[in-house]
Structure 1
């Protein structure tokens, strides 16, 4: 009769890998949201460049990322934000249809989100026992 036993140890068996994956996902989401804030400000800066009637500094300061129940949200806290985006009732009553800042920023972010996650990944791979 042949017998034996094995001992399993390491990050996969002591929960370090699972915790690292969860931390990686949270950090990646946060980094993508922060990039979203930067993109909304960038798109807004390009759109507002020659308009003296839009207080760009106030709008840019109001754009922020915040953690919500389902993930992260990028939004602004200025009262005229919906009007600038083009989703206010006032847009239907005027010629101004909005800049679509968030839509344009989301399109740009959709093409770069995986690159942001790849940039964050090496730190968490080391936590999982990788090199």
Structure 2
């Protein structure tokens, strides 16, 4: 199970990301929203520091979604019937994704809200 070299390590990590993208609807949603937010940030001309904060925020949400998927797979592998503690593990893991996504929205609004409003007001005023 141990990776033989660095290339194999990267390939296995890529397979994990790809698995999550293919199998998890929420990962597709997070990726689409991340792409939209980063394009919006570029369009609004956020500073380098603001863009870096947005990238870090996006990365945190995506990483939590990867961890959530891993937790769900592990729980499903170990517990093949409903168990209340298995449900708690899955719910807490999903909660971590929810909290990170919720605060990413707040960070996005704080960084881009004023710029977006000014851009929209300018656009409507023309």
Q: TM-score, normalised on structure 1?
A: 0.32
User: Quick check: which has more Rg, 1 or 2?
Assistant: 1
Q: TM-score, normalised on structure 2?
A: 0.33
Higher strand share: 1
Higher helix share: 2
